[in-house]
A = this chain, B = another copy of it.
Amino acid sequence: MRVLVKDLKRHVGEEVELLGFLHWRRDLGKVQFLLLRDRSGVVQVVTGGQRLPLPESSLRVRGVVVANAKAPGGLEVQAREIEVLSPALEPTPVEIPKEEWRANPDTLLEYRYVTLRGEKARAPLKVQAALVRGFRRYLDRQDFTEIFTPKVVRAGAEGGSGLFGVDYFEKRAYLAQSPQLYKQIMVGVFERVYEVAPVWRMEEHHTSRHLNEYLSLDVEMGFIADEEDLMRLEEALLAEMLEEALNTAGNEIRLLGATWPSFPQDIPRLTHAEAKRILKEELGYPVGQDLSEEAERLLGEYAKERWGSDWLFVTRYPRSVRPFYTYPEEDGTTRSFDLLFRGLEITSGGQRIHRYEELLESLKAKGMDPEAFQGYLEVFKYGMPPHGGFAIGAERLTQKLLGLPNVRYARAFPRDRHRLTP
């Protein structure tokens, strides 16, 4: 019966079977040391007079668990039998135990099919899976329905720019930038919906925080009073996501030395106008209508200093910087918000326009062609209730939570301006 590395402490003095990968080896002639890595962790194994295969070979080890204060984790396994299930044929391009995601990203990403095996490389993906699990579980409990909307679409949610083209039989189609329009339609069906799915942005940016394919955690909710309902929902949702990650991926979080954030409860809110005033008058950093990345970073510091909060909602953005479907106020602002986490935008959301004529007007005011949105607009002829939602970028949140230097390490096989493999 196989035992996982993390459970060995309950088997001291017993003979166990381990399965895993040869993480590291050292041959002292009569004695060989090796580290065996399985999905749960790494343990030292000692054997004698045995020729060990190359690192990353997969092994079956039978041996006795003994306490050893000098061994990593305070335990080692004295092997009675080591079977090579599948030998590595070549040395790995990067030494997996030394592999650090602080090393040259290009090398790590080029060989990601094997560098991902490193404990620090795989940890962010484990944390992300836990965050997503918390996301779904909280929303399931709130009676949201998971939806699966099309990713090959006729037109974009916000016009034609930034879309990757697809040859769909004889037709021209695009990869969805967002499930925006579909999740709104689904509010008419299930009232409360969410989706966890990839989206694509054909952005030329090649920075440490941009991905061209990323995982979007989308929420949309009907019968709301205003955007405040959405912000309260997001606070409780994020709290459960963080809790689930801490409970089920605590080892990974510790391994990466991450500082877990303050609880996202009663997150401070600043209107866009207040934020601009603070930036100009208090932080000496005047900005235009759009908040630059630097402005967001400064606001993040401000929230930390003033309220001790890692989180900050910036609300009521002006119409000019929000999509056409954003619910407008008479003063030129909108019922919208961004959520900044440690100075990085991880969410954008808001109430949507739910009346047909107002959508038409808004499209025209933005200089967009209502014809291109005909299929989308139709549903607003049929009594769409007040509704709104938001989207969380899973990799950005993971990156920022874990303090990763690059968002690419929060995605198994990132796609960027220059990277289409592995």
List residues of A whose CB falls within 8 A of some B CB.
2, 19, 21-22, 38-39, 53-54, 56-58, 85-90, 92, 113-114, 116-117, 122, 125-126, 128-129, 132-133, 136, 140, 143, 145-154, 164-169, 171, 173, 175, 182, 185-186, 188-192, 196-198, 200, 202, 213, 215, 222-223, 354-356, 375-376, 378-379, 381-386, 394, 411-415, 417, 420-422
Whether B113 lies near A152 (C-beta < 8 A) is: no
> Inside 8 A of A383's CB, which chain B residues have their CB?
21-22, 53-54, 56-58, 85-88
Whether B191 lies near A150 (C-beta < 8 A) is: no
A129 CB, nearest partner CB in chain B, Å: 4
Q: List 10 A-B contacts (CB under 8 A).
A: A39-B191, A56-B188, A85-B386, A86-B383, A88-B383, A148-B198, A148-B412, A150-B413, A152-B213, A185-B422
Indicate the member of A53, A129, A165 with the most B CB atoms within 10 Å: A129
Q: Which of B146, B175, B198, B385 contacts A86 (CB 8 A)?
A: B385
A265 CB, nearest partner CB in chain B, Å: 23
> Inside 8 A of A153's CB, which chain B residues have their CB?
420
Given contacts A148-B198, A376-B422, 19 further A-B contacts (CB under 8 A): A21-B383, A39-B190, A39-B191, A39-B192, A53-B383, A86-B384, A86-B386, A114-B382, A116-B186, A117-B189, A126-B190, A148-B394, A148-B412, A150-B213, A152-B200, A165-B166, A182-B413, A197-B198, A375-B422
Whether A382 lies near B88 (C-beta < 8 A) is: yes
Indicate the member of A113, A223, A382, A384 with the most B CB atoms within 10 Å: A382
Whether B375 lies near A415 (C-beta < 8 A) is: no
User: How many Å lie between the Cα of A382 and that of B356 in the bound state?
Assistant: 58
